Structure formats: structure tokens, C-alpha cells
Amino acid sequence: MGCYLDCLVPRCDLLPLSASMSHSDEKSSTSREFKEELGDVTDIQAVDIESQEHSRKAPWIVKATSWLLKWGVELEDIDPIPDERRTNPRLYQLFFVWFSANANIFTYVPGTVGPAFYGLGIRDSFLIIVVVDIMCTISLYPFSAVFGPKLGTRSMVFARFCWGYYAALIPTVLNVVSMQGYLIINTIIGGQTLGATSAHLGASLGIVIIGLLALLVTFCGVHILNWYETVAWIPNVITFIVMLGAGGKHLVNAPLTNAIPASAAAIMTFGATLAATNVSWATLTPDYGVYHDRKASSWRIFIYVYLGFIVSSMLAHLIGAAFTAAAFSVPSWQAGLGNGNDIGGLVGAILEPVGGFGKFLLVLVALTSPSACAPTMYTACTSFMTIAPVFAKVPRFLFAIASTALLIPVGIVGATKFYSTFVDILSIVGYWLAAHFAISLLEHFVFRRGEYSAYEVQQAWNKPRHPNLPRGYASLLTFACTVGLVVVCMDQVWYTGPIARAGTGDMGMLVGFLGGSAVYLGARWAERRWIVGKRPSVETIAVETSVHAQF
């Protein structure tokens, strides 16, 4: 393929193409076509892998890097992408990344939780899904996605500009845990679906196959991931349409409500679970636009991402709720669902009347489940690299391999208790995100007045005491207060707070977000007033940065 990729290795000397060309014109042309196919339209430059930075690395890393570069694998670390490299005009990729990630068997699952786990009917489930999806989608995903092209930063690097350098370790570590948890869930669903195609295959082997496919896409990097997502949605949308055609008559005859009216606590708790699923995507969205046009309208980015999410996620949630609610009155569907833990079995039972074509669709749906797994794994890796400078020096694909090695055995064990595993993971995700988004939204719109120029990204992102980074006192106080509010309002199997116990259901995320917002407004104002006149000199920052980079 040729070894010319634009700036995939950070901090190495870049040579003009004419100075380092060592291949024939034919191979160079092929390399250019491959680059355009991946959507990376920046100038193609030769990478000097023998640079001073590479010479400090172990020989096996240098050799591996050279080989991977030839095949187009992204070797970028977490350094912010400079302005001159954020030029990709293909903004439609931002639509397809999130449309494919949600027009997926995984997004089908949160809708099933209402009927399967909380005993809600179709009508109640539909009303909750529509309200929660609209509220979450319009408020968080598009907002966070704009930071990718505008600032060129990954999500957890950007968190430093809201939390402070050291305090940002809290959301970074929690994001790694959350993403790994979602990876486990995604792999279980994909493995179960693949296992439903054959009695000899089984869910366990299916989990192994799906985990390895997700690793393959993640290993290659964001350019190939963007290309993959532009086509991964096709078999899933076809399958949803066939499912509606094959099982529509059972949906029409299914009761809209259960014999026992839904309790307020069940409705609120299902809404909280669905909201946690939705908002968790917002910590991923900046990562996939860091190479896109920084001059593009923020509204264009917003609309592409918003449509990608709302169209796919609401459709999948509604279908999931409808089929699961109807499954209890259709013996073959109920048998496929088993004890409520086999989503792949339910989908297989719905497609059974279609015969061999249904089996074929089931295989395609399973094999395209990495459309949700790969973005999750990619962000888990970049988040882990943000925890400490020493991790940023490790190639991202090694973290992807480690992530896969962990998720496969845990997924095989967790598949036997799917819904309890699903709800337990979501409880962790939703609660900490309440504080994270309260801090992020207020920092941007109130204290930086919505101005992207207020972020000195290239100068400040890795300097703990840079004046452009908060000290972190306000964010730490906000996080502590949010945890206190969440504890008294949460409703989980392993703990129910006193307010939730009174019959309100799970209000932890909502109350945590509102309370955290109020605390951060006051605390950040006080922090900004206090640090005026206490900023370190430029010389002090330079010395501290030099020492910090050695660890």
C-alpha cells in the first residue's frame, strides 16, 4: 500500500513527499486512492520513522511501527490534532458513525429492558423512550461532538479544560471502566446473536468471534473505523424491516398495557436506565471528528450528529420494546428469549418464519455488531492513554489487545446473567456522568462563553498549572456533592436511597445533574476569583512540564 500516511506518528520529523519518495508512481497513486477512501484528505506526507523520537524506542517497536504504517494503521497518540491537519470535509461521516453505532442490535436492547426487567407494557415503554431519547439526544451528543473538529482533542483530553489536569483523572478512569463495561455488554449481545444461528456455535464462541472482529476494526484506527461505519448500518436496517414484516401481526395483537398498572418507581427507573445508555455516547463523540474540518459550521456538525443518533436510536429502542413486550404472548419468541437473558435468541425466533434468509440476516447482524463495539473500544483506549503520560507512550493498539483479552472471558461469564449485568453497568455509567456533564456544559457556556478560542489547546493540554486549565477545586467539590445527592436518590438492586425508597424511583442522575450544576456555578466562580494573581510564570510552567513529561 505504500507507507505514506499523514502525521500518524506524533512528534516526529515530517519530510516533504518529494524528499522521501521511495516507491514507484503507480504505488504512490494507489496510496493516494487508499487515503481518499478512508476519508483522510489532508496532504499525504512521508513519515520519517528513523527520527530522533523513534530512535529512543525499543527496536521491536520501531520495526512494528514501520510495518503497521505501510498498511495504514493509525498510530496517533492523544496529542491534540493541529489546525493544519483538521481539514477532512466529509462531515457526513459523523452522521454514519453514530447512525451505524445505534442502528444496531445493541441499541435494540435498552428498549427491551422496560418490558423484560421492569414489567412495563408497550404504551408505557414507548412514551418513556420518546421523551428520554429526545431530551438526551438534543442536549448532549451534538454538543460534545463539536469539540472534535473545533479543538482537535479526544474527549478525556478535553475534560482537563473543565475539571483541571489532575482532577480530570476521575472522569478519565470512570470512562475507561464505563467503556469496558459497555464493550462487555455489546460483545455478549453480538455473541448471542451469532450463536443463535447454529446450535453447534453457541454464545461463548460467538462472543470470541465478535470480540476479535471489534479488535480488528479498532486496531486499524479512526480512519478505517469511519469508513467501516458508512456501510455497517445496511444489514441492520434491512433486518429491522424484515423483523417488522415477519412479526408484525404479533405486535398488532399484543396488549398495549399490562394487567397490573406500571408503578411510578418502575417508570422513573426505566427512564434513568435508558438515559444512562443514551448519555454514555456523549463521551465518545469528540474522538471521531478530530480530523474533520475545523472551519465547518458548528450547526452543521450538530445536525449531522443529532440526526445520526435520534433516527437510529429511537427506532431501535421502540422496536426492542415492542418485540419484547409481545414475546410473553408468543411461545416461540418467549422460548428464544429464554429466561430473559438471550436477546440474540429472541431475534432469531422472530426471523425464524423467513427461513434461510432469516439465518443469513442474523449472521450479518451479529457480524456488524462491531459498529457499536469498535467506537467504544477506541475511546476506552484513548481514555486509558490519558490517565498518565507513561500510558500515552504505549501504542494504542496494545491497549486494544488488552481490552479484548479482558472482555472475552468476562463476557462469557456475564452472558448467563445478561440483564442484571446490563443494569449494574448502567448504574455506574449514569451516575458519574451527571457530574461530568454539569461541569462540562457550564464551563463551556458560562465561564468560557461558548468561545472555542478560549481554549489554548496546543499550549495547555499537558501542562498541569497552565492558566487556561482550572485548578480542579471546583470540579472536585461538585463531584463530591453530586455523589452525595445520587446516593440518597438512587434505586438499584444492591442499594436504594431513602428518597427513592419513598416511591420516586431512580432520580439519582437527574438530581445529581441539577444539584451539581448549582454547586459548580458557585464553586467555579469562587475558584476563578481566588486564582487571579496566583498564576505561575511562563518559566515555572516550562520547568514543571519538562519534569512531568519524564514520568
**pLDDT for 42-71, tens place per residue?**
333 333 333 434 444 556 666 777 777 777
* Cβ pair 448, 166 in contact under 8 A: no
Domain membership flag for residue 238: yes
Is the Cβ–Cβ distance between 303 and 457 less than 8 Å?
no
Q: Within a domain: residue 515?
A: no
Say what the pLDDT of residue 156 is.
94
> 177 lies in which domain range?
83-417
What are the start-end ranges of the H helices in 328-388?
A: 331-337, 343-351, 356-367, 370-386
**In angstroms, rounded to a whole number, what is the distance separating the alpha carbons of residues 126 and 230?**
29
What nine digits make up the cell of 529? 476569583
Mean pLDDT of the chain: 80
Mean pLDDT of 110-126: 84
- Global pTM reads 0.80
Residue 76 forms part of a structural domain: no
Q: Is the pLDDT of residue 210 over 70?
A: yes
Give mean pLDDT, residues 378-395: 91
At residue 352, the pLDDT reads: 87
Residue 171 or 59, more confident: 171
pLDDT-derived band at 40 (thresholds 50, 70, 90) equals: very low
Q: What is the pLDDT of residue 38?
A: 41
Separation between Cα atoms, residue 160 and residue 171, nearest integer Å: 10
Structural domain contains residue 67: no
Region 82-101 average pLDDT: 92
Asked, for residue 373, whether it belongs to a domain, the answer is: yes
To the nearest whole percent, how much of the chain has pLDDT over 70?
A: 80
Q: What is the CATH number of the domain that holds 294?
A: 1.10.4160.10
Residue 227 lies in a domain: yes
Of the candidate ranges 11-15, 148-152, 251-255, 432-436, the one whose mean pLDDT is the lowest: 11-15
The continuous run of DSSP H or E covering 47 comes out as strand 46-47
pLDDT at res. 259? 56
Nearest to 508 by CA among 490, 492, 491: 490
pLDDT in tens, 473-498: 999 999 999 999 999 998 877 788 89
Q: Is residue 31 in a domain? A: no
* CB proximity list for 245: less than 8 A, separation 6 or greater: none
- pLDDT band (50, 70, 90) for residue 340: low
The pLDDT assigned to 96 comes to 94
Q: What is the mean pLDDT of residues 288-313?
A: 92
Beta bridge partner(s), residue 14: 47
Residue 395: pLDDT over 50: yes
Overall domain count for the chain:
1
- Residue 174 included in any domain: yes
The pLDDT value recorded for residue 421 is 62
d(C-alpha 253, C-alpha 393), whole Å: 58
Assess whether pLDDT exceeds 50 at residue 499: yes
